[in-house]
């Protein structure tokens, strides 16, 4: 059943249960158990051993520490502790009061979040967690729901990273593209040049960013998002009270009345500068020969850089609390509160990584890739690849895995069918992977966006889904135009016109929410 249609059963079962029960860990657990049973001929003993082996591999591989996953967990814990210390020092309150005097409207508060998401494109993990934590005091004061904040964060993180050449994503994609071009003898452009030519063809990323801006300016709240926004405006409840405690909040902490804006700003600045500095340092160290900007970001160690940046940010927040003469017992309680605030996100990540490994062993991605028929008319190839990549990322929870699997397949198809469609087909895979990532509750980017925003994970998934689908429909039609005409300009015009029409329709259907 590996590599067959049955390989879709565990992810689809988990996704269906998430939507129906809204219990993420239970749903992922069922998917993990079913997948493990399928891999081991329904032998329960072997299945349990398989699950234990996968979980153990998250921490140790071949006798050595698995620094990627482990460092991400450590970074989350450091971020939780840093956020708690910032809250304890009064920095979050001071920043909220300061920003409230300067950013007078809800639109302004959301626009600040979007601009930060666009500017901080160095890495999606870093973007999701940093932008959410920085923006939260401001959006909270303007009664913007946490689900809305998570949407703003998530829909600017990956779309920006996937079109920015100087980012961890850009470097990874350029490396794959360069290999594909070399394999098929395309020498008219190098990997970086091809990547830049593909940016205007990555329709979903561009439409998603455009839609976010339209949602902010024109207050386009519909579907489940409208429920959250109405509740936030009318009652001040930023999350669904039936979902339990707000992730990432430390409501029981004592808050200093001597807080200053710098108590929030300096730890964040230290975190950002520390992370970027170590990304550059580790990238240069790993580059062979003379390091260039591209080689630096291609070889950078993102997990280590996040960990080191997190340690620096935490240290600065700790020092600022010590300067305020916070008692040791209070510091200990604050740090523990920060750790506890991140545990739900870490549990979900552990379950997500486990099911992603099982899905990989089942060959779900390979099966989806095999659905692309070589006899399809070239006109439909970008649109079909967009859908296949979207479902692959949705089912497997990984954009990067989808890139690695489908980009070479798309390149091979283009070389056989129509070499002039090479870049459009590669761009369609990138766009589809981002779309699927936005929809998938097992995507680590989705999990971290909800964590950074302090939103319940499933609330973020359910509220973002309608917006992602709207952007995907516009993208799909645009790719049909691209496949039929080969004109990037006409494709962009089509996407823009469809986006404007969609916004006008949504604006007409969406009445303003009264507070």
pLDDT of residue 199: 92
pLDDT of residue 14: 78
- List the structure tokens of 197: 């030519």
What confidence tier does 245 reach under pLDDT thresholds 50, 70, 90? Answer: low
Q: What is the mean pLDDT of the chain?
A: 83
How far apart are the C-alpha atoms of 405 and 384, rounded to whole Å? 15
Residue 492 has pLDDT above 90, yes or no: yes
Residue 335 has pLDDT above 90, yes or no: no
How far apart are the C-alpha atoms of 396 and 393, rounded to whole Å? 5
Looking at 143-254, list the stretches that DSSP marks H as alpha helix, in order from N- to C-terminal side.
Answer: 146-161, 168-183, 191-198, 203-218, 224-235
Burial of 352-383, coded b for 16+ CB within 10 Å and e otherwise, reads bbbbbbbbbbbbbbbbbbeebeeeeebbebbb
Residues paired with residue 64 on neighbouring β-strands, in sequence order: 61
Higher pLDDT pick, 365 / 129: 129
Q: Average the pLDDT over each of 180-194, 305-319, 493-507 and give the range with the smallest value.
A: 180-194
Q: Per residue in 25-34, pLDDT tens?
A: 788 888 889 9
Mean pLDDT of 479-503: 94
Q: Average the pLDDT over each of 163-172, 201-210, 212-221, 390-399 and give the range with the smallest value.
A: 163-172
How far apart are the C-alpha atoms of 270 and 267, rounded to whole Å? 5
Residue 297 has pLDDT above 70, yes or no: no
How far apart are the C-alpha atoms of 224 and 269, rounded to whole Å? 35
Q: Average the pLDDT over each of 21-25, 258-262, 401-405, 477-481 and give the range with the smallest value.
A: 21-25
What confidence tier does 250 reach under pLDDT thresholds 50, 70, 90? Answer: low
Q: Per residue in 71-81, pLDDT tens?
A: 878 887 887 88
């Amino acid at each position: 059943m590996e590599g067959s249609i049955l390989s879709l059963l565990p992810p689809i079962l988990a996704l269906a249960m998430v939507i129906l029960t809204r219990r993420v860990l239970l749903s992922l657990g069922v998917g993990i158990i079913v997948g493990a049973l399928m891999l081991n001929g329904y032998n329960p003993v072997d299945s349990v051993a398989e699950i234990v082996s996968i979980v153990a591999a998250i921490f140790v591989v071949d006798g050595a520490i698995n620094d990627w996953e482990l460092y991400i967990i450590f970074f989350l814990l450091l971020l939780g502790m840093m956020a708690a210390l910032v809250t304890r020092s009064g920095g979050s309150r001071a920043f909220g009061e300061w920003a409230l005097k300067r950013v007078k409207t809800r639109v302004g508060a959301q626009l600040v979040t979007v601009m930060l998401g666009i500017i901080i494109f160095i890495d999606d993990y870093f973007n999701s967690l940093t932008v959410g934590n920085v923006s939260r005091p401001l959006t909270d004061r303007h009664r913007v729901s946490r689900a809305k904040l998570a949407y703003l964060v998530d829909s600017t993180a990956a779309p920006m990273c996937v079109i920015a050449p100087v980012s961890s994503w850009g470097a990874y994609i350029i490396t794959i593209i360069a290999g594909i071009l070399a394999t098929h003898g395309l020498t008219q452009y190098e990997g970086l040049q091809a990547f830049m030519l593909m940016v205007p063809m990555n329709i979903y990323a561009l439409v998603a960013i455009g839609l976010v801006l339209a949602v902010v300016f024109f207050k386009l709240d519909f579907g489940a998002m409208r429920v959250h926004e109405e509740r936030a405006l009318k009652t001040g409840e930023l999350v669904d009270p039936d979902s339990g405690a707000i992730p990432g909040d430390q409501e029981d902490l004592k808050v200093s009345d001597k807080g200053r804006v710098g108590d929030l700003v300096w730890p964040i600045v230290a975190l950002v500068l520390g992370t970027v500095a170590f990304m550059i340092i580790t990238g240069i160290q790993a580059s062979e020969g003379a390091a260039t900007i591209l080689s630096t970001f291609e070889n950078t160690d993102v997990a280590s850089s996040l960990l080191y940046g997190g340690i620096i940010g935490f240290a600065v927040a700790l020092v600022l609390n010590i300067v305020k003469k916070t008692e040791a017992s209070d510091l200990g309680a604050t740090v523990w509160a920060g750790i506890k605030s991140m545990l739900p996100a870490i549990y979900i990540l552990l379950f997500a990584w486990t099911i992603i490994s099982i899905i990989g062993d089942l060959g779900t991605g390979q099966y989806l890739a095999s659905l692309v028929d070589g006899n399809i008319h070239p006109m439909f190839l970008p649109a079909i690849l967009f859908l296949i990549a979207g479902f692959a990322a949705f089912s497997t929870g990984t954009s990067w895995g989808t890139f690695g699997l489908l980009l070479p397949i798309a390149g091979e198809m283009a070389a056989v069918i129509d070499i002039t469609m090479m870049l459009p087909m590669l761009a369609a895979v990138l766009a589809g992977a981002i779309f699927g990532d936005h929809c998938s509750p097992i995507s680590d980017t989705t999990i971290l966006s909800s964590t950074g925003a302090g939103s319940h994970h499933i609330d973020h998934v359910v509220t973002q889904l309608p917006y992602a689908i709207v952007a995907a429909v516009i993208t799909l039609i645009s790719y049909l135009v691209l496949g039929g005409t080969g004109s990037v300009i006409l494709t962009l015009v089509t996407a823009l016109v469809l986006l404007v029409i969609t916004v006008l329709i949504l604006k007409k259907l969406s009445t303003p929410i009264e507070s």
